[in-house]
Amino acid sequence: MTGFEVYKMYLALKNHFTTDTYDYVKYRGKVNASEKAFEERRDRYFFKKLATKYDGSEVLNYFVANFMHDPKGYIKSFSDGNYTKWKVNQESFSYKFRQDVDLLLTYFEAPYQDKFDKLFEVKEGSHPRLLRHYLAGEISLETLVVFERCLGYVGRFDKKLSDPIWKDIKKRVLNYKPFLDIDCSKYRQVILTVIRTKL
């Protein structure tokens, strides 16, 4: 990849994560940008350096990791540290997911198999338990993405929630979803295992 190609990827991902109209997957990362304008940018060396340091898929993950760290996508806040931390989280995610499911169920009494659905219950005037635990920093955004990919709760929440907090979380979940490799059969098994071992 060239520095200009890295820059175009950054622009496409910035549009994906910060606007409501652009979908990185749908448009295959295509954006209008001129090489001349790129060469006039003060931060062009940042993109050129990334092009020599990482290959295409790594650059993509680097940007995704940093957009998760800074949703507004300010280049000055992007770092290898954010990317390294994200990679470590990805590698240990099935363990973290198990911990998140376990924590979510500790707020109920046994038997747990009929309590799991209560996490997704939306009562008038309040956020569902799932969102409250996320907002409290107790579970990860990735866990919300797995639940959406494998169980599909966003549509249900949308029917009853319209507040800015929900809209912001929904946007983050849906924008992040295409970039995570999620094996639903594996994560469903984790949920069932946690329910069984908590009994």
Burial class of 1 by CB neighbour count within 10 A (0 to 12, 13 to 18, 19+): middle
- Residue 49's closest CA among 78, 69, 28? 78
> In the chain, which residues fall in CATH 1.10.220.50?
92-197
pTM for this prediction:
0.92
> In the chain, which residues fall in CATH 1.10.8.60?
3-89
Q: Which CATH class is domain 3-89?
A: mainly alpha
- Residue 7's closest CA among 69, 71, 78, 70? 78
154 in Cβ contact with 173 (< 8 Å): yes
Specify the CATH number of the domain 92-197. Answer: 1.10.220.50
Q: Which residues contact 189 (CB under 8 A, 6 or more apart)?
A: none
DSSP symbol at 199: -
What does the DSSP assignment read for 119-163?
Answer: GG---TTS--HHHHHHHTTSS-HHHHHHHHHHH--HHHHHHH--S
Q: What is the pLDDT along the chain (199 residues), one digit of tens a residue?
A: 999 999 999 999 999 999 999 999 999 999 999 999 999 999 999 999 999 999 989 999 999 999 999 999 999 999 999 999 999 999 999 999 999 999 999 988 877 777 889 999 998 879 999 999 999 999 999 999 999 999 999 999 999 999 999 999 999 999 999 999 999 999 999 999 999 887 6
C-alpha dihedral (187, 192, 195, 197), degrees to nearest 10: -100
